[in-house]
Structure 1
Amino acid sequence: MQAIEIQTFGPPEGLVLVDRPDPAPATGQVLVTPEAIGVGGVDAVIRRGTLGGYGFTTGFVPGAEVAGTVGAVGDGVDPSWVGRRVWAFTGTGGAYAEQAVADVADVVPLPDGLGGVDAVALGSSGPVAHFALAQAHLAAAESVLIRGAAGSIGIAAVQLARAAGAGTIAVTTSSPERGRRLRELGATEVLDRSGDGATELDVLLDVAAGPDLASWFDRLAPNGRMVVVGVVAGMPPADFGAGLLANFRRSLTFGTFSADTIPRADRNAVTAAQFAAVVRGDLSAVVHDVLPLADAAVAHRRMDAGEVFGRIVLVP
């Protein structure tokens, strides 16, 4: 099969199309032939080498999710999965390929009427937004700011905050056109990336992080909550917690969120519910572009340039 490897960490040019042996499903796994492959922000973070301490090495195949058809199953897996269209979480990698394996516990059937492209545009991002807002205890009529809202997590969070009855739904983004599209999805205030004008926020959902993370503590109301779900702008400085302590008397809360902490059954239930919502028209999966697998480096260049609204999807 053909697959994309990270042959050098750093710029997108390190992503190279290669031939690799076809994978085989191990015990408890399924083999999926993808019709669509999601390109996520975490893929770019890994490719840049930002998470070098997590054991990623050259030759790594990035990508965390695919939608396609189950072609084979490993020992201990119900053979009735074969031939079914599914969304599958492949872990931290392995999805940028013509064949992918996933634990059967990380597989969700696709409902009739949902295409693979839409499935991977929402699949992992929607549950992250759902559980991160729950961790922040967002309540009806409260204000929320979604920092870095033009990505797939931010877009899902805007829609979910609207459905939850949030009062102010503020977003940061890089252009008036993106702001217009975010308003159509439910945002009530659009700010530039500096966030100037945002104050007294009950909840701040941060996809970006980066070197100025601590400055955002000043935007929170007393008892405000910040939850970081990504580091697409880079890691914060080691002393960012000093900014939290400087606001000690305002009883602020800071947390991080990873879907790794959610039981698979709970995550899959939310994923299935969100897929059904897309079919009904109650939730939108926003696709920036669909590119061939061989153009993975093009997709990453667009992400690095900040051009992407929603998600880029690769097709084999």
Structure 2
Amino acid sequence: MKAVAIQAFGGPEGLAVIDLPDPSPAGGQVLIAVEAIGVGGVDAVIRRGALAAYGFEEGHVPGGEVAGTVTAVGGGVDTSWVGRRVWAFTGVGGGYVEQAVAQIGEVLPLPANLSAVDAVTLGSSGVVAHFGLSHAHFAPGESVLVRGAAGSIGIMTVQLAARGGAGAVAVTTSSAERGERLRGLGATHVLDRSGEGGRDAPAGYDVIIDIVAGAHMPSFFARLNPNGRLVAVGAVGGMPPADFGTEMMAAFQRSLSFATFSAATVAGPELRAVRTAQFAAAGGGELHTVVHELLPLGQAALAHRKMDAGEVFGRIVLTT
């Protein structure tokens, strides 16, 4: 089968199409004929080699979520799964392929009214947005700032905060055009990447959901209200400075909080329940997925070039 692997860490040119043996599902697994593959920010971070110290090596096949049809099951898996349309989490890799294997506990059936493309646009980003807000102890009436709102996680966070009764939903983004699109999804104030601008925008925020991190993350502590919480749910802009906590300590009397959030810390049944509800909501038009572009699997490098250039609004989806 065709797959895309990281042949050399660094730029998108390090991604290459390769041939791999057709996989077979082991016990507790299913084999999926892939139709759609979500291209996530973590894929780019791994591709750059930023996580090499955590065991990622060249030759790694990126991609964490796929959707398609189950074609075979391993031992201990009910054969009724064969022929069903599903979404699946493949882990920290293994998704940029024509045929994917996944543990049955990481597989969800798709509603008839939800496409494979919409499923991989929502599947991972939706739960990060949901539990990220929960991790921040967000409550109705509070003001929320979503830093880096133009990606799939940010778009879902905007929608969920608005649906959850936020008093204000501000976003940082790179252009007025993107800002207007985010307003259509529930944003009430549009700021530039530094957090400036936005007529009548709140002076401070109760919750900041940060998908960017990077060198400028510490400056956003100054935008928190007393008792405000900043939760980093991503690091597409790289790691923050090693001394970023000094900004919080300098504002000691404002009782600020910082946390990271990863969906890996959420129990499987909770993830399944939220994903199932979000898939139903998206299928019914209550949540909106935003697909930037569909590209064939063989153009994964182009997808990464577009991400690196900051061109993507929503999610790029690879198709087979």
The TM-score range, normalised by the shorter chain, is: over 0.9
Structure 1 residue 297 and structure 2 residue 308: aligned? no
Alignment partners' CA distance in 1, 2:288 and 2:118: 9
d(CA) in 1 for partners of 2:277 and 2:149? Answer: 22
* Cα distance in 1 between the residues matched to 2:22 and 2:57: 20
Counting matched residue pairs gives: 316
Paired with 1:184 and 1:294, the residues of 2 have a C-alpha distance of 33
Structure 1: how far apart are the matches of 2:216 and 2:172? 14
The answer on 1:162 being equivalent to 2:162 is yes
Displacement of 1:113 after TM fit?
0.9
Q: Letter of the aligned partner of 2:85 in structure 1?
A: R
SS class of match (2:222): helix
RMSD: 0.8
Which residue pairs with 1:36 in the alignment? 36
Q: Does 1:244 align with 2:236?
A: no
CA drift of 1:213 comes to 1.1
Percentage of pairs with the same residue: 66
Q: Does 1:91 align with 2:91?
A: yes
In structure 2, the partner of 1:138 is 138
In the alignment, structure 2 segments of 5+ residues that lack a partner are none
Q: Runs of 5+ in structure 1 lacking a partner? A: none
* Counterpart for residue 100 of structure 2: 100
1:41-87 CA-partner distances (Å, limit 9, x unpaired): 00001001111111011110000000000111111111111110000
What is the rounded CA distance, in whole Å, between the counterparts of 1:156 and 1:226 in structure 2? 17
1 CA distance for matches of 2:112 and 2:54?
A: 38
1:199 Cα deviation from its structure 2 partner:
3.1
The Cα offsets for residues 200-229 of structure 1, whole Å up to 9 and x where unpaired, read as 210000000001111111100000000000
Structure 2 counterpart of 1:309, one-letter code: F
Mapping 1:247-266, distance limit 5 Å: 247-266=251-270
1:199-218 correspondence to structure 2 within 5 Å = 199-218=203-222
Give the CA deviation at 1:151: 0.2
In 2, Cα distance between equivalents of 1:10 and 1:191: 31
Distance 2:203 2:69 in 1: 47
TM-score, normalised with respect to structure 2: 0.98
Q: Is the 8 A contact 1:199 1:218 kept in 2?
A: no
| Counterpart residue identity of residue 4, structure 2 | I
Task: Say which SS state the counterpart of residue 131 (structure 1) adopts.
Answer: helix
Quote the Cα distance in structure 2 between the aligned partners of 1:159 and 1:194.
Answer: 22
Amino acid at match of 2:59: G
Partner residue in 1 for 2:127: 127
Give yes or no for contact 1:292–1:314 (8 Å, CA) kept in 2.
yes
